[in-house]
Structures are given as structure tokens and as C-alpha cells.
Amino acid sequence: MPQLNGGGGDDLGANDEMISFKDEGEQEEKISENVSAERDLDDVKSSLVNESENNSSSSDSEQAERRPQTRPDSESYEKTRDYFSEALRRQQDGGFFKSPHYPGYPFLMIPDLTNPYLSNGSLSPSARTYLQMKWPLLDVPGSAGLKDSRSPTPGHLSNKVPVVQHAHHVHPLTPLITYSNEHFTPGTPPSHLSPEILDPKTGIPRTPHPSELSPYYPLSPGAVGSIAHPLGWLMPQQGQPMYSIPPGGFRHPYPALAMNASMSSLVSSRFSPHMVTPPPHSLHQTGIPHPAIVSPAIKQEPSTDNLSPSMHKEEDKKPHIKKPLNAFMLYMKEMRAKVVAECTLKESAAINQILGRRWHSLSREEQAKYYELARKERQLHSQLYPGWSARDNYGKRKKRKRENKPDSKPEGKRFFLQIARFILSQQQIHNSASSLFPLLSPDFSIRSKKQCVQYLPSEKMCDSPASSHGSMLDSPATPSAALASPAAPAATHSEQAQPLSLTTKPEGRMHHHFSIPGKSTTPILTRPIPFTSLHPSMLSPPSPFHQAALHSHHALFQSQPLSLVTKPTE
């Protein structure tokens, strides 16, 4: 099946039968031993972080409350169910949910986007914040990008949805809804318009086969009801729209595109290979920027490229359309604030490690929720920007260090710095009274002085049923879905494999997963082993240096019990 599951629960289970350990794909290319060493260090760091998590997790009552070990987010589920029931009822009643264009978003309410932004043409900070939350893909153009300098905040900050982002009032995933508001339009648009989308290749509007959309946006209430809508929590308690849509708002000749205000502007400009100059700063006449659009002013490439001035001009005119967020990214957006709140850590790198672990500890259903969201996001994205390709964004970022690595002195410095950190951290570890799960990564032992206290009880997911189910295999739970969806043909392919990162993950990234082949146990390392390739799929033996480093690592930790927890899998 074309879905994430790639074939069955077993594979998914794989997800839970393994734990990935990052290994710095970046450095991996280094031919020198430094590479391996650095990798090793990073792994150690990683493991330390994990230890820290585990260590602190047990005392986090708040976390425990929020995420019962066996059922993280159960509360959300409850709400979701309730909302869902109500929404479903409404839908079946033929209310304004009726529009079938995006059945996948049957219950979403769109705020009156015009107000927050355009009450007099200006955008209040609060309004912007609001916007940011709703438009995850949007890098709101900075003042530089706004001809009228409406935006008081720098564009580069636009994407940071800090303060409010995860306020409990608005779910971080809310952004998704912004892709699809059309179905909230009163009445049902002419059928001939509904599923019409632009052919990515030709740019010609076409009407996809029902099967193309149904998987993602099931038309039948029953289908919708098959799974609790991930955004269910967005629904207001009383069954009334958390957000309202201006009557008749967002009308567009291509309703099926879930055209939002800014989108229509894109329709005229985007997607042709020679993108026409978009309306000022990707703002629709309504002034609402699209989430996925980033003013080139923000993401400009440094003058390190070879583009001619004219080319630059052309480039500048192109809005930067961001990639749709994947499941994990969506999850991160949602959970980051919580993790940060629960933990004194502030560095995203550390937070992300934690999130990565949490991700793996999620139950299959929970992951499926995010995969579903991600799929919808992609779907919507592809419909909004039919001509967009991930490739369009290549090179938009600064070159990564990977490109100039092997010899660079900075690398060397970095390497030694990490060694220093590592050593220091080891000392701390051994000096620690509770040496079992002492500190954070070496990095943080030095740079961030702070420890992650009270962290995720659920992290010790070893016994978590959630993980016992593996994960994501059902993500694509939605049926059949992707299968026929032309909007995400590639997605189908990749979704198949993705969940099975166990086997498909490129070694280059050195995500090492642990599993015991042939054994129906799910080993979970509460303290990850450094970069050794325990995974059977990793055929290439570690380099001598690698091995040496590993040996060293074992020596270092030999006094510490390696918590390899195995749990039975179904």
C-alpha cells in the first residue's frame, strides 16, 4: 500500500523497535578520523541528553498528567472525540460543513483573517502573532518586504511563533486550516469547480478523479469518521466555530484550491516557471500573506552565488514558498513549547533530540495523526502551489558546512572543542552522585549549564504501550489514500517507505537504529549506545576509528548500567 506503512504493521513496529541515534550526517563525509571522532562525540552527547531525559522524567508530574504514559495526549483525544462527534453530526446534518471540497478538513473553522490583519490596513502585533500561528509555512515578509512597512517586526522573526505560538488557546497545528478554508464558504460551489486543480505539469486546471481527493479528503462522513480528525481539538467546545469566516469570503475561481486570500494572488503569479511578479510581497489584496510564502528579502542568498544582477531581481520577485511541514515538524511545533516549559533547556538542538525521542515513543495512532496532518498539508500545498517543487528551495539556505568540510580549520577547532566538552562532561558524569543519568550532553554541560529537570515521564517509554505498537504504520491510516492522489504521487511513494525509516533511512545520516533481529522484543535504550551500527541493515562496518571510539565509549560507561529495556512486541 502506498501509505506510510509501507506494508504493514510490522514495519511500523520497526519504528518502535528501534531508536535512532543521530550521527551527524554532516560530518560523516569527512574522510579523516576526525569525522568519526566527531560523530562519536555527538553520539555521546546524544546519549547523555537521553540519559538526562530519562533521569528527570520520572519526576515530572505535570508531564505525567498531560501525557499519561500509556496514553499521551489522551486528553486531546477526548476532546477530539467530542468535537468530532459534534462536527460529524453537523456535517451529516448538512450544515455549512457540507462543502465537500476538502472533506479532510471538515470541521475546521477559519478565523476572519481579514480582521487581524487589515483592520485599517495595518497589522497589529497581536494580529500578526495570530497570523503566525495560523500560517506555519509563512515567513511573513519583513518590513523590507512590505512596501508600506506594515510589519513592525523583522521578517526574520516572523517565523518564530514564540510567545503565543503554543498557547493553549490555539493549537499549533492550526496552521493547517489555513490551507483550506474554502469549504467554509456558505453553500456548495458548483461541482464543476470543486475538485478542480491545476495540473502541476501543465498548469492547466483539471478535475481530478474523485479518488484523487477522497483519500485525503474523504467525501463521506463515514470516511471522515473513521478516524478522529487530528485537528479535532480546534473545535470549540460548544460546537460553534472557534473561528469564523466572513460570509462569502475567500471566494475564488478555484475554490477547490482552498484558496485563501493570499493564494489567489499566487494563482496568478506562481507556478509558472517564470513566475509573474506576485502582488506586493505576496499579499493578496486582502493583505493576507500566504503561510508558505516567504519574501525573498528574508531568505536572500548571500552574494556568493553567480547570479547576475538581473537574475537577482528575478529571484527577488519570487516568493519563497516553504516546504510543507512533515509529520515530525508538525509534532515539533506542537510539542516544543511543552518540552521547553518542562525543561530548562532552551537550545533547540537539545529540545529536538528530546522531541525526536518523544516522537518515537508516540503510539502508532498518535503518529498517524501527524502523518495524516502532514499529508494533508502536502496535499494542500501541492494544490496551492501546483508548480512548486522542493527543488525550488534548494540553495535558498546558506551553504551547509558539509560542503566545505574535509580540511577546514574551523572544523578542526570544532572537533577539539567537542572533545573538550566530552571530556569535561565525562568528568562531570563520574563526579556525579547520581552517576547513572547525570547530565545533559557534554555540550550542555558546558554551554548550557542548565539541566533538564523533570522531564518527560513518557520518555521512559520503554514500557509504554504506545511504542509497543510501533508507529506510523497506520499513519496513512487513511485509507487508501494517497494512492490515487495525483496531488501527492510522490508522497505515496515516499510515504510508503518513510515510516520504515529503519530500512530506508540513508546511512549517510547515520541514524542508527537498534533492533534485535529475529527477536520479538523491542529494545529501547534509555541510554543510547554511540553510533555503533547495531542495526542489521547497516552493513558497512564501522571504521577502525569508529570502533576505537566505541571501545573508548564503552570503557567510559562501563561503570554505568546500560539500560537496555526490552519489551515484548505484539
Only segment of 101-109, 253-261, 280-288, 500-508 that touches DNA (CB under 7 A): 500-508
Shortest gap between Cβ of 494 and DNA (angstroms)? 4
**What three-state secondary structure class fits 102?**
coil
Return phi, psi of residue 296, to 5°: -60, -25
Q: How many residues does the chain have?
A: 570
- Contact, 381 vs 324, CB < 8 A? yes
Q: Which is closer to DNA, CB of 95 or CB of 490?
A: 490
Interface pick for DNA out of 207, 344, 448, 560 (rule CB under 7 A): 448
Q: Which is closer to DNA, CB of 77 or CB of 371?
A: 371
117 is a site residue for DNA (CB under 7 A):
no
Q: Which is closer to DNA, CB of 101 or CB of 513?
A: 513
Cα distance between residue 365 and residue 12, in whole Å: 11
Q: Indicate the residue type of 9.
A: G
- Ranges within 342-361 binding DNA (CB under 7 A): 346-349, 352-353, 355-356, 359-360
Only segment of 120-128, 502-510, 515-523, 542-550 that touches DNA (CB under 7 A): 502-510
- Ranges within 304-323 binding DNA (CB under 7 A): 320, 322-323
* Residues forming beta bridges with residue 321, ordered by sequence position: 293
Q: Can you spell out the DSSP letters for 273-331?
A: SSPPPPSGGGB-TT-PBPTTEE-TTTSPPPTTS---HHHHHHHHHS-EEPPPP-HHHHH
Shortest gap between Cβ of 276 and DNA (angstroms)? 20
Shortest gap between Cβ of 251 and DNA (angstroms)? 27
Per DSSP, 484 falls in state G
- Ranges within 5-24 binding DNA (CB under 7 A): 15, 20-24
Cα distance between residue 410 and residue 26, in whole Å: 14
- Ranges within 144-173 binding DNA (CB under 7 A): 156, 159-162, 165
546 is a site residue for DNA (CB under 7 A):
no
> Which of 280, 302, 303 minimizes the C-alpha distance to 293?
280
Shortest gap between Cβ of 414 and DNA (angstroms)? 6
- Contact, 337 vs 355, CB < 8 A? no
Q: Which is closer to DNA, CB of 87 or CB of 502?
A: 502
Shortest gap between Cβ of 94 and DNA (angstroms)? 33
Q: Which is closer to DNA, CB of 92 or CB of 503?
A: 503
Query: How many Cα atoms occupy the beta-carbon half-sphere of 190 within 13 Å?
Result: 8
Q: Where do the H-state alpha helices sit in 113-260?
A: 114-118, 125-134, 155-158, 162-165, 210-213, 221-225
Print the binding letters for residues 375-414 with DNA: x by CB under 7 A, - otherwise: x--x---x------xxx-xxxxxxxxxxx------x--xx
Interface pick for DNA out of 2, 4, 217, 456 (rule CB under 7 A): 4
Cα distance between residue 140 and residue 160, in whole Å: 10
- Ranges within 222-281 binding DNA (CB under 7 A): none
